[in-house]
Copies of this chain bind each other. A is one copy, B any other.
Amino acid sequence: MITHQVTIIPDAIDISVPHGENLLRAVHAAGVHVNSSCGGQGTCGKCRVRILEGSVQGGKTEKLSGDDFAKGYRLACLSTVESNLRLEIPPDSRLHRGVLDRTHAGSPTGRLASARQEDMAGIDLKRPVIEKKFISVDPPTMEDNASDLARTRRALKKQHGLSDIGIDYTVLLKLGRTIRENEWRATVTISNNCSGAICGGTFPHITRIQPGDTTGRHYAIAIDVGTTTVCGELIDLVKGEAIAASSEYNGQIKFGEDVITRMVFAQKKDGLYLLQKSVTDSINAVIDSLLTKADVERADISHLGAAGNTVMTHILLGLDPRYIRSAPYTPTVNEMPPVRAIDVGIGLPGHVRLTVMPLIASYVGGDIVAGVLASGMHRRDATTLFIDIGTNGEIVIGNREWLVTASCSAGPAFEGGGIRHGMRATFGAIEEIRIDPATCKPVVFTIGGERPKGICGSGIINIVAELLEAGLLEPNGRFRTDMTTGRLRQGRDGMEYVLVEAERTGIDGDIVITEVDIDNFMRAKGALYAGYQTLLESVGLSWTALDEVIIAGAFGSYVDIEKSIITGLFPDLPVERFSFIGNSSLEGARLAILSRELMDEAGAIAGKMTNIELSDHTPYMDHYVASLFFPHTETRNFPTVMERFKTMGRSCGNGKGDGT
C-alpha cells in the first residue's frame, strides 16, 4: 500500500495517509478538527484547506472562487491524497472554543426566566434521584445470623424508613467485606432512577456500598447534549447546587452540522459507533474539566443526568436513529431504561447511573422536556409560549393544564448555515450592526471585538431588522434597487449589501449579506412563526392568549427581542412578556438530578405533552407561506412593527447615496 506523509500546520502534526484516501477523513482521523457542516457531502463549503506543498485530486467546486483555487484552497471532503502534502487548515475552517463559555446556563444575558422562586416553592432540591444513606448494621450473632443483605436492609428500614430496596448484583460481590470493614458502619447509594412504566414499577435499589460514612461526598453531573455543544455542570448533591460548569463542542460536528447529516452519517459503516464515540469523548472531556475545576474525585460521582434532542439521545445510547429521519418519524424509545454511564462509553465508575430526560417525539426531545421543567410553565396558570431556536425550532405552548408542542424545520440559518458569510457564534462573528441613516453605511460589532470573519445567527436577525428599518430592504425580502448606495450592489447571487469591505475583515474579501441569505432567513423565521400559529390554533387560542414568551437556548440568549419582532421571528407582543431562560436543557437536567419530585415531573411533562407533526400539515403550510414576508403578510398581527416602520421613515440616505 502506497502511503503519503501529510504535515498539518499550524498543528505540526505528521500523519501517514494511504494513497487515494479522502483528505477530510484523513485529517479527522488524525484528531484535527475541520468544519464540515454537510458531513462531507461537498455542499457546505466549510472544509476549506490550503495545499502548501504537494497535490491532491479533486477539491474544486463552485464553493471555491477561482482565485482561492489558484491560491491552493481545496474542499477537503472532495480531495483525495495523491502525494506527500503540506496542508494548512485556515482559521475559518476551525472551531474556536473560547466562545463556548458564553453558552453556559450560568451566564446568559437578558431577563432570566428560569427556576423562579415561586415555581419551585415546596420542592426539596436536596432529595436527589440517587441518594446516599449512612447505616449502622447490627453485627450478627448465633441467635441472629440473617444474611448480610437482610441486615443491611433492616438497617435501611429502621434508620431511614426505607423498605423494599433492591440491590445490584455487583454490589453483592463486596457487600460482606464492606459492611465489616468499618465496624458495621457503611454508606449505601440508592438509585431511584427508574420509576414508571419503563421499569414495570418502582425500582429503588442499592447501586453502591462504601465503608464508613461517605455521605458528605456525593456529586452528580448534568449534561446538555446539544447538537453543537456539550455543556456540563458538576452538582454538589449535599449542598443542592452546581459548583462548576464546562463545555466542549460536540465532537460529532466533524461528521455534519445538524441532526439530519448526523443521521445520514449514522447509516454509513461504523457511522453510529463513530458518532457515539465522538459525543462520549466530548462528554468525557467536559467531565474531566469539571472534576479538575472543582477538585472533586471521580469516585465521588453518583449520577450522570443528560438532556438532549431525540437524535442526540438516541446516538448517545447507541440507538440507531434511522427511523427518526424519515416519515412517519418514529423514535425507538422516548423513556429510557436504566443504564450505567460506562455502558455507553462514559468514563465514570461502574456504579454511576446515566439517566436521560424523556423524549416526546422524533423532533421534540429531552432538551425541551428539561426546558419546560426549568421554565416552570407547566406549574403556572399563565399560558406560555416556549421557543427553542435552532436548526429545528422547537415550540411549546401551554400551562399547568395542558402542553402542546411542535418542531419546525427552520434550516441552518440561525446557526450561520445557508448564509454566504454565515458562521457559528464564535470570535469575529458579526452579531450586531447599526446602519447610519445618513450614509446607509453600517457600523458592525463582532463577538470578542475581533476583525469580522462572518455573521452569526443573532447577527442576521439584527442585520435584517436594521436593513428593514433603514428602508434598504423591502418587506418582500428584496433590496431596494432604486437606492444607489455603494454598499448595495449586484453580486453573483443577485443583490447584496456589503457589511464590511475586504481590507477591514479577518478573511479574504468583503463580508456581504445577499438576497439569497435573506431568503433563507425569511424561510427560517417563517417556519417558526407558522409553528406558533398552528399550535395556537390547535388549542383554539389567539395571540393575545399568550401571557408569556420564554426564549430558550444559548442562541436565544443573544437575540434582540425588538429586532426579532421586527423581522417577524417573534410575535408582536409587549416586550415585557418576553424572557430568556438560557440553557434550560442543562438547567432542567440539573433540577431533575437534584429532586426526585422534579424527575417525576419531567416524566409527567413528557406524558402530557401533545406533539403535532407539522410536516405535511396543510394549515401549517398555509401559515408558512403567509409568513414569507417581513414581518408577515398578515400585518394586523404586527401593529407595533407597522407603526414603527411608519414613524421611522424607512429610508437611509434619502435615496441620495454617498458614492462609497
A145 at interface (Cβ–Cβ under 8 A)? yes
Q: Is the CB of B176 within 8 A of A322?
A: yes
A452 lies within 8 A of chain B by Cβ: no
Q: Which residue of B lies closest to A150 (CB)?
A: B334
Task: Report, nearest first, the 6 A-B pairs whose CB atoms are least far apart.
Answer: A166-B200, A145-B328, A201-B201, A149-B333, A140-B328, A176-B332
Q: A331 with B147: in contact, given A201-B203, A616-B142 (CB under 8 Å)? A: yes
A151 nearest CB across to chain B (Å): 8
**A519: B residues at CB distance < 8 A:** none
* B166 x A198 contact (CB < 8 A): yes
Residues of B within 8 A of A451 (CB): none
Task: Choose one: B140, B329, B361; the contact of A330 (CB below 8 Å).
Answer: B140
Complex interface residues of chain A between 358 and 417 (CB less than 8 A to chain B): 359, 361-362
Chain A 318-342 interface residues, beta-carbon cutoff 8 Å to B: 318-320, 322-323, 327-339
* A148, B323: Cβ atoms closer than 8 Å: yes
Q: Which of A167-175, A468-476, A567-575, A645-653 contacts B (4 or more CB under 8 A)?
A: A167-175
User: Using Cβ atoms and an 8 Å threshold, which residues of chain B touch A332?
Assistant: 147-149, 172, 175-176
Question: Residue A19 at the B interface, CB < 8 A?
Answer: no
Interface string of A581-593 (1 = CB under 8 A from B): 0000000000000
- Chain B residues whose CB sits within 8 angstroms of the CB of A202 once the complex forms: 200-201
CA distance in complex: A518, B288 (Å): 70
Closest Cβ of chain B to A159, distance in Å, is 18
Q: Shortest Cβ distance from A142 into chain B, in angstroms?
A: 5
Bound Cα distance from A113 to B640, whole angstroms? 92
A21 within 8 A of B: no
Q: Within the assembled complex, what's the spacing in Å between the Cα atoms of A80 and B198?
A: 59
How far apart sit A177 and B314, CA to CA, in the bound complex (Å)? 14
A361 touches B145 (CB 8 A): yes
Let me know if A217 is at the binding interface, CB within 8 A: no
Q: How far is B141's CA from A334's CA once the two chains are assembled, in angstroms?
A: 17
Contact with B along A192-213 (1 / 0, CB 8 A): 0010011111111100000000
The interface residues of chain B lying within 8 Å CB-to-CB of A149 are 332-335
The answer to whether A166 touches B330, judged by C-beta atoms less than 8 angstroms apart, is no
List which A278-328 residues lie within 8 A (CB) of chain B.
317-320, 322-323, 327-328
Smallest Cβ-Cβ distance to A199: which chain B residue:
B166
Q: A140 to chain B: which residues have CB within 8 Å?
A: 328, 330
6 further A-B pairs in the complex, CB-CB below 8 A; given A166-B197, A177-B320: A145-B362, A147-B330, A165-B200, A166-B198, A175-B333, A201-B201
> What are the interface flags for A152-163 relative to B under an 8 Å C-beta threshold, 1 for contact and 0 otherwise?
010000000000
Contacts of A562 in B (CB 8 A): none
Residue of B nearest to A616 (CB): B142
A219 to chain B, nearest CB (A): 24
Residues of B within 8 A of A153 (CB): 197
Q: In the complex the two chains form, is B200's CB within 8 Å of A142's CB?
A: no
Which residues from chain B contact A334 at a C-beta distance below 8 Å? 147, 149-150
Whether the pair B198, A327 counts as a contact (CB closer than 8 A) is no
User: What is the bound-complex CA distance between A203 and B164, given in angstroms?
Assistant: 13
**In whole angstroms, how far apart are the Cα atoms of A144 and B337 in the complex?**
23
Cβ of A547 < 8 Å from any Cβ of B? no
A123 interface residue per 8 A CB criterion: no
- Smallest CB–CB gap between A596 and chain B, Å? 14
Q: Give every chain B residue within 8 A of A343 (Cβ-Cβ).
A: 169
CB distance from A136 to the nearest CB of B (A): 16
Residues of B within 8 A of A145 (CB): 328-330, 361-362, 613
> Of B176, B203, B333, which one neighbours A148 at CB under 8 angstroms?
B333
- Complex alpha-carbon distance, A204 and B142, angstroms: 37
A146 beta carbon closer than 8 Å to chain B: yes
Shortest beta-carbon distance from A130 to chain B in Å: 14
Please name the residue on chain B nearest to A310 by beta carbon: B147
For A142, list chain B residues within 8 Å (CB): 327-329, 613, 615-616
A128 to B322, CA, bound (A): 35
Contact sample, A vs B, 10 pairs, CB 8 Å cutoff: A147-B332, A151-B330, A167-B198, A168-B337, A172-B317, A172-B333, A176-B322, A180-B323, A200-B202, A203-B203
Supposing A141-B328, A165-B200 touch, asked if A176 and B613 sit within 8 A by C-beta, the answer is no
In the bound complex, residues from chain B placing their C-beta under 8 Å from that of A361 are 145
Distance between A598 CB and nearest chain B CB, rounded to angstroms: 21
> What's the least CB distance linking A358 to chain B, in Å?
10
* Minimum CB–CB distance for A1 against chain B, Å: 34
Query: Chain B residues near A613 (CB, 8 Å)?
Result: 142, 145
- What residues of chain B lie closer than 8 Å to A201, measured between beta carbons? 164, 200-203
When distances are taken between beta carbons in the complex, the residues of chain B under 8 Å from A328 are: 140-142, 144-145
What chain B residues lie within 8 Å of A323 (beta carbons)? 148, 176, 180
Known: A142-B616, A148-B332. A176 touches B320 (CB 8 A): yes
Of residues 455 to 482 in A, which have CB atoms within 8 Å of B's CB atoms? none
A172 to B359, CA, bound (A): 15
CB neighbours of A329 from chain B (8 A): 142, 145
- Give bound CA distance, A150 to B358, whole Å: 13
Among residues of B, the one whose C-beta sits closest to the C-beta of A175 is: B332
From residue A155, how far is it (CB to closest CB) to chain B in Å?
14
Write the nearest CB–CB distance from A140 to chain B, whole angstroms. Answer: 5
Q: Which residue of B lies closest to A153 (CB)?
A: B197
**Residues of the B chain whose Cβ atoms lie less than 8 Å from the Cβ of A169:** 317, 336-339, 343
CB distance from A178 to the nearest CB of B (A): 10
The residue from B172, B318, B362 contacting A319, defined by CB atoms under 8 A apart: B172
**A177 vs B272: C-alpha distance in the bound complex, in angstroms?**
14
Within 8 Å CB of A167, what residues of B? 198, 333, 337
